[in-house]
Amino acid sequence: MKILLVNGPNLQLLGSREPEIYGRVTLPEIVCRLRRIAGELGVELVDRQSNHEGDLVDWIGAAPAEGFAGIVINPAAYTHTSVAVRDALAAAALPAVEVHMSNIHDREDFRSRSLTAPACVGVFCGFGAATYEWALRALAARLEHNAG
């Protein structure tokens, strides 16, 4: 079973700036750890990151045809702005889990609204790099439950 990990704009900066908010772990380190967990869970993880909204829309849109069973996504700033990413998630109709490293409800008001969350089966936020791990485990459990 293949799971698509999508990371949105500026997440390539993780570990280099704003460590008080996002910690010191880099995106490649997060992906490396997730790959190991995916292996333990018996799923394959394919990871992508882009600063461009259309890339996210294209990857989500192609995910069903590419054989992905589900999506873990941190849409980053597009969470709060992108009807296009939300529509792509809804159209793909794959179980998607939204991730935010920070607690988006404990920051600026505009961050507490997610346009993309209603197109996801669930949301994890606020546990730093570990948030991705919970999301991956939750999605894998759901997919296993659906398959069984």
To 5 degrees, how large is the angle CA 80–CA 33–CA 55? 40
Residue 76 in contact with ligand CA2, rule: CB under 6 A? yes
On whether the CB atoms of residues 79 and 114 are closer than 8 A, the answer is yes
Select from 3, 5, 6, 22 the one that contacts ligand CA2 (CB under 6 A): 22
Residue 46 in contact with ligand CA2, rule: CB under 6 A? no
22 catalytic? Reply is yes
Determine the angle formed by the axes of helices 83-92 and 53-62, rounding to 10 degrees: 10
On whether the CB atoms of residues 23 and 129 are closer than 8 A, the answer is yes
Select from 111, 121, 122, 137 the one that contacts ligand CA2 (CB under 6 A): 111
Number of residues in contact with ligand CA2 under rule CB under 6 A: 16
Nearer to ligand CA2, 76 or 97 (CB): 76
Catalytic residue numbers?
22, 100
